[in-house]
Structure formats: C-alpha cells, structure tokens
Amino acid sequence: MTRRAFPALDWFRLLAAVLVVAIHTGPLGSFSPAADLWLTRILARVAVPYFAMVSGYFLARGHWQGTGRLWRHTLLLYAASVLLYLPLNIYAGNPITWRGLLFNGTFYHLWYLPALLLALPIARLLAKAGRTGWAVAGLLYFIGLGGDSYYGLAGQLPGLGALYEVVFTFWNYTRNGLFFLPLFLLLGAAFAARPAPEVRQNARLTLAGLGAMTAEGLALHAAGIPRHDSLYLFLPLTMWGLFGLLLAVNGGQDRAVRRTATLVYILHPLCIVAVRVMARFLGLRWLLVDNSTVHFAVVVPLSVALAYLVQALPRRRRAVLPPDARAWREIDLAALRRNTALLRDALPASCALMAVVKADAYGHGAVPVARTLQREGICHFAVACLAEGIQLRRAGIRGSILILGWTDPALAPLIHRWRLCATVADADHGRALSARGVPVRVHLAVDTGMHRLGIPAEEISTLAELFTLPNLRVEGVYSHLCTSDGASEADRAFAQKQTETFVRTLTLLRGMGLDPGLTHLQASYGILNLGCTAGHTFGAARPGLVLYGVYSDKTPVDHPLPLRPVLSLRARVAAVHRVPAGEGAGYGLVFTARRDTCLAVLAIGYADGLPRNYGAQGGVVLLHGARCPVVGRVCMDQMLVDATDLPIPPKAGECATLIGTDGSGTLRAEEVAVACGTITNELLSRLGPRLGLVVQNP
C-alpha cells in the first residue's frame, strides 16, 4: 500500500515560524505565566534549531555545494529585511549600528540572518573536518550554553566570565552564529548520510528529550540561573529525535508553505505593531494587546495573510503563447507520482531510485518531471549530457545528477561548477578528467559485456588506479544490462552473466580496500524482468521509461506493474476539406480518395517527432473518441486524417489525440511505436521542442 506523500519538513517550518510568533507575543501569559514560560521559553526553542537543521540537511545532500547560494540568498533576505524595518527603527529612535548590523540584527527577530551568514562557512569547514569538526561544534555549543541558560553558574568562573564579557561586546547573546547554529547545521547534515529514520524510535526520543529539556528549563528558571534561554543541554537530543521523526514521515515538498513560513518569520513584528496601532485606534487595547491569547490569535492569521498577500503581489507578465495552441504534450504528474511509488515498492528498501530524465525526460519535460520527483524524495537523477545536467541545476534541482554519457574533459570546470557527476567512459577518459586540475565527482562505468562505455570488468588494476587519481572523486560504480528487455533464454542468461561479472568486480574492489560508493546496474527492464537480480541488491536502480508508465513495446515482462501512462500527445485540427472521389491529396498525391472523403488537417508533423510514412504504416489518431486513419505522407508541420466515418465532422480548432485517451478511445504509446516501426523509447524521446507542454495535477 502506498503511503500518501506529506511534506512534513515544510509544514513544520510553518509551525516553527508560528512558535517564533508565540515567543514574541506570550500567548498564555495573561492566564498562566508558568504555562507561558514552558511554551515560549522551552518548547518554542525548537523553532530556530529546526530552521538550521533543515538547511544543514539539504546542504549535505548536495555535498555542501549549495552553501554559497544559500549564503547569498540569506544576505539578500537580510538586506531586504533591514530596509523593511528601517522606518520602525527610525520611529523608535533606534539607530542602526555596525554591531547590530553585523552581529545582532537590526530588529529583535532578525538576529538569525546574520547568525546564519556566519554559521554557514563555519559549519562547512567543520563538516570537512569529520570527528574533529563535530568536537569543535560541540565545544562551541557548550561554551554558548554557559553564556545562556547556565550563565548564572558559568559566568561566575573567572576564565569563562572574562570570555563572556568579550563575547557580549559583539553579540547580545551567545545565541549566535558562532556558538549556537553550527552544531544544528551539522546535526541536520548528519541525516543526509543516514538510512531512513524509524518513526517510533524517533517519536520516543523526541518525547524523552522534550521531557528532559522541560525539567531542565523549569529548574534553571526557578533558580534564576539563565541569562537567556535559547540553549539547553537537552536541546540537541530533542532536535535529533524531532528531525528524525519529521524526516521519517516526510514525503515531497510544498514550496508555497516554505515561502509562507519564511515570510511569517520576517513579517510578524509588523503585524504585532499593526495590531497594537489598531487596538489603540479602536480603544480595544484591553482585548487585542493586554489579553495575550487574543493578541497571539490575531497576530498569527494576520501574519499568514500578509505572507500570502506578498506572494500574490502582481508581477509583470509577458504575453505567453498558450502551450495547447497548436500541438502539445499533456503530462499527468499524479500518474508519475503513482509510478514512482510502485517502483519503490518493487525494489528493496535499501535500493534508491535514480530517476533517468535524459532526452527531456523521454519527451515528458525534464524540469517539471524532476521537480515532481524531487518533491517525492528522489535525490538521484541521471541525464545523458552536460547540457541536460546544467538545465536541471538552473531549474533548482538538488541532489546528485549523473551524466551517463561521455563528457569532454575540457569541460571539467563546468562539471565542477554545476555540481554534477561525470561518467568515466574509459581509463584514458578518467586520466584526462583528472589532468584538468579541477575536482570532479565521477561514477566509473564498468563494461560487463555490452562494449559501449566503460572500463572492462576484468581490468581491476585499471579501475583501482582511477580511485587514486588526483581530482577524481569516485562516488559510484555502475554497469548496464544490454539484454534485460529480451524474452529468450539466451537474453536472460547473458543478463545474469553481466550481473555476476559486475558483482565480482565490486567484490574485488572492496577486497582492495576501495569503496565503490553508489552501485547501480538495473534500468527499467532490469527491474521488470530481473527483480533483485538473482539475490543481488545494489545501492540504486535507474528507471527511465517505466517511470513514465510505458514499456518499450508489447513484449510481456516477468514482473508487470500497474503503471499509468504519464504522457498524452494532442494536436489541433487546422482545417477540414471535402475531397471528391478520385482526387489525390498531400505530397506526391500518394493518397487518392476512393470515395467522397472528409479530410482533417492536423497541426503536427514530422518536425514534431512523427515519421513521414506514419500513414502508410497504419497510423491512426483519435477524433471525437473514434479511430481515424492517417493518410498520405506526413508533412513537416501537418498531417492528413480521414474523418469520413465520424457521425459529426470535425471542426477547425478541435482536439485530436495521437497518444492517450479521448472519450472511450485509447491509443497507447506502445501501439503508436509499433506503427512507427520503432520502440516507445525512440518515439517519445524524439518528440520535438516545438510541442507545448501542459502540466496536469502539479
């Protein structure tokens, strides 16, 4: 049974932002100071560490390559926030000082942004240092702890007391980018390299940590020890359990909620001021301000509404041609999500999906497909060439992107710049990549019998040499099955031989003390016909065509899945002609009407990916849900369809279906491919760039 995707990480961002609002409004203060202390000074202290852990997690999944981009984004957000709150600072008589600008933020909630700007490079350096980095992060947090919740004790020690006096000349608190955030960035990053967390274990850990932190916080406040209360001894333990719990139930992303959470965090002080002004104007201070619960209940929805309003501000729009104006592809993302879940269920839990999105995701649109898969938790992608990888990075796709084809070693700086993984096509190619002097992440292709790309499996010493070359960072080893789509015993035997050869190669490499990293062998038909490849499980599988709900042809497979086609291909009727019996039509007058004929001209042709002889090979399209034959030669931009037998003649502007469902009629891509004399892979991947793209169920 497939679990419904729930973007828990993004939704908790919004809850964390609401907890920050609670810190600044004290929702329970009017009724129970003790309860409000627990809510705002203990429970709500998970909010900011959570923000840092999410950042650390996603940075580590991209091998910290996105640190600079996040740093620049944070800097721009901070600059905009400084300008936004400048009028309030001027009105309140609070001049902006270098100390406030660089260390504490220019408004009380903005401290997190300069803290993150400082913490990001520190955390990246600590992450590279391994265990030493963790020890340093822990020590920094421990020092910060003494300047925060334990200041009444640690501040009395001569050495530490003097240290804190120096710290407080720069920062108002040890809740900053030096002592506080680096540890939580590393804690989040640690989850990127761990197996999928377990729900119950992390739920218990969260409750235990929160209980311990509650006891700790209440005891410290009762004794009057804290100088501030952002750092607790049990806070890291609580956050470890909480983040693991959320990650265990997380499925996909919700960018709108994520943006809303950020805006609520930034904008809520404006809403607090607005509510206070409104209360004074209406004479309702006793209700809207003095009653802290009502105050909180008004500020939160106002902040959320303002966040949505900011996102909905009208933007300058360019005139855009409708994607379905002529001929187009319709992409059903719900079907893509369902197919992804089916493939995950068909593979062992330890085997990740590496989504193959080459050739514009087999004609489906690489960017919307990859974004959808990324929201479903897919973090490995494969493309054919460097340009395809750069396209995905420009579109904001994170995780690992492997180039399956050959890449010119001269382009190594671009591979590094866009954080891509290159395939080492052979030994000389690997040496040439290394010689460019630029760090390059690579997967080694092993030739197990296909004789296309790869180092021959028997050349173990050559493979081992590639692990030692400077500038090559070997992150994976893979091969490709060349007969897994065949139905004969010989085909299956050869696929099994390739599998055993690949396993033997991996075993020899590991025996030499070399880590092959992510191993992968199965593509679509390796999953459908070979299952777990005779008991062998690899780190990932590379589904391509089956992700999109189709097979290469009509040949049965050993392990069929109830896949749903993702793509439909449609075109407009451009014109309708009456052709008398005996007259010809189209190039070469190849078609001759045997009766008075109704010809519909469709606005799609061989420049869009269909073969010129589609009509001669028995091609059909759906009009009004009925099958109509393609006649004559397909032109570059049009094709002719015999619509004589339709009860109601078609009209210009109506829709014809070349792949997909129309009413009670269905044309599967496999059937069309057979009529075109090819396989579905080729048919879909050559669908031309002129075709529009209509995305359904985003």
Interhelix angle 47-61/67-92, nearest 10 degrees: 150
pLDDT score, position 2: 35
Task: Let me know whether 493 and 634 are in one domain.
Answer: no
Q: Which two tokens stand for residue 473?
A: 């960072």
Residue 331: φ, ψ to 5°: -115, 120
561-564, Cβ contacts within 8 angstroms, sequence gap of 24 or more: 561/339, 561/342, 561/343, 561/346, 561/528, 562/342, 563/339, 563/342, 564/332, 564/335, 564/338, 564/339
Residues facing 423 on adjacent strands? 443
Identify residue 151 by its one-letter amino acid code.
Answer: Y
Report if residue 35 sits inside a domain.
no
Report if residue 556 sits inside a domain.
no
Contacting residues for 500 by C-beta, under 8 A, at least 6 apart: none
Report if residue 160 sits inside a domain.
yes
Q: Which two tokens stand for residue 46?
A: 């998970």
Task: Let me know whether 246 and 261 are in one domain.
Answer: no
Contacting residues for 138 by C-beta, under 8 A, at least 6 apart: 183
Q: What is the DSSP string of 633-682?
A: ---SS-EEEE-TT-SS---TT-EEEEEEEETTEEE-HHHHHHHTTS-HHH
Residue 512: φ, ψ to 5°: -90, 5
CB-based contact 381:357 (threshold 8 Å): yes
User: pTM score, two decimals?
Assistant: 0.62
3-state secondary structure of 612: coil
Q: Which two tokens stand for residue 157?
A: 């020690």
CB-based contact 40:23 (threshold 8 Å): yes
Which element (helix H / strand E) includes 492? helix 489-511
Residue 497: φ, ψ to 5°: -65, -45
Task: Let me know whether 212 and 111 are in one domain.
Answer: yes
For residues 63-80, one letter each, b for 16 or more C-beta atoms within 10 angstroms of the residue's C-beta and e for the rest, the string is bbbbbeebbeebeebbee
Place of tokens 């057979």: 674
Give the residue numbers annotated as catalytic, written as ranges.
Answer: 358, 587
CB-based contact 142:180 (threshold 8 Å): no
Cβ-in-10-Å burial (0-12, 13-18, 19+) of 473 comes to middle
Task: Let me know whether 119 and 168 are in one domain.
Answer: yes
Task: Let me know whether 393 and 505 are in one domain.
Answer: yes
pLDDT score, position 443: 97
Which element (helix H / strand E) includes 602? strand 597-602
Q: Which two tokens stand for residue 275?
A: 């509510």
Cα–Cα distance for residue pair 117/71, rounded to 1 Å? 6
What's the half-sphere exposure (Cβ side, CA atoms, 13 Å) at 291?
10
Task: Let me know whether 225 and 264 are in one domain.
Answer: no
Residue 614: φ, ψ to 5°: -55, -40
Cα–Cα distance for residue pair 330/662, rounded to 1 Å? 13
Task: Let me know whether 162 and 305 are in one domain.
Answer: no
The stretches in the chain having pLDDT less than 50 are 1-4, 534
Q: Which of 206, 228, 252 is the last residue in one of the domains?
A: 252
Report if residue 235 sits inside a domain.
yes
Report if residue 333 sits inside a domain.
no
Task: Let me know whether 62 and 163 are in one domain.
Answer: yes
Task: Let me know whether 539 and 647 are in one domain.
Answer: no
pLDDT score, position 533: 52
> pLDDT tens-digit profile of 62-97?
678 788 889 999 999 999 999 999 999 998 888 889
Give the number of domains in the chain.
Answer: 4
Task: Let me know whether 51 and 147 are in one domain.
Answer: yes
Q: Which of 217, 252, 287 is the last residue in one of the domains?
A: 252
Task: Let me know whether 82 and 169 are in one domain.
Answer: yes
Report if residue 375 sits inside a domain.
yes
The strand ranges marked E within 351-479 are 352-356, 380-383, 400-403, 421-424, 440-447, 455-456, 472-478
Cβ-in-10-Å burial (0-12, 13-18, 19+) of 653 comes to exposed
Residues facing 642 on adjacent strands? 599
pLDDT score, position 195: 74
Report if residue 460 sits inside a domain.
yes
CA quadruple 555, 556, 557, 562: dihedral sign:
positive
Interhelix angle 112-128/131-146, nearest 10 degrees: 150
Look up the CATH number of the domain holding residue 394: 3.20.20.10
Identify residue 179 by its one-letter amino acid code.
Answer: F
Look up the CATH number of the domain holding residue 664: 2.40.37.10
Task: Let me know whether 659 and 578 are in one domain.
Answer: yes
Report if residue 335 sits inside a domain.
no
Task: Using alpha carbons, select from 295, 276, 200, 222 the residue that is nearest to residue 41.
Answer: 222
Task: Using alpha carbons, select from 553, 546, 586 the residue that is nearest to residue 677.
Answer: 553
Task: Using alpha carbons, select from 323, 338, 421, 343 the residue that is nearest to residue 372.
Answer: 338
Cα–Cα distance for residue pair 211/260, rounded to 1 Å? 30
Cα–Cα distance for residue pair 501/456, rounded to 1 Å? 10
Q: Which of 216, 234, 252 is the last residue in one of the domains?
A: 252
CB-based contact 614:676 (threshold 8 Å): yes
Owning domain of residue 269: 1-30+254-314
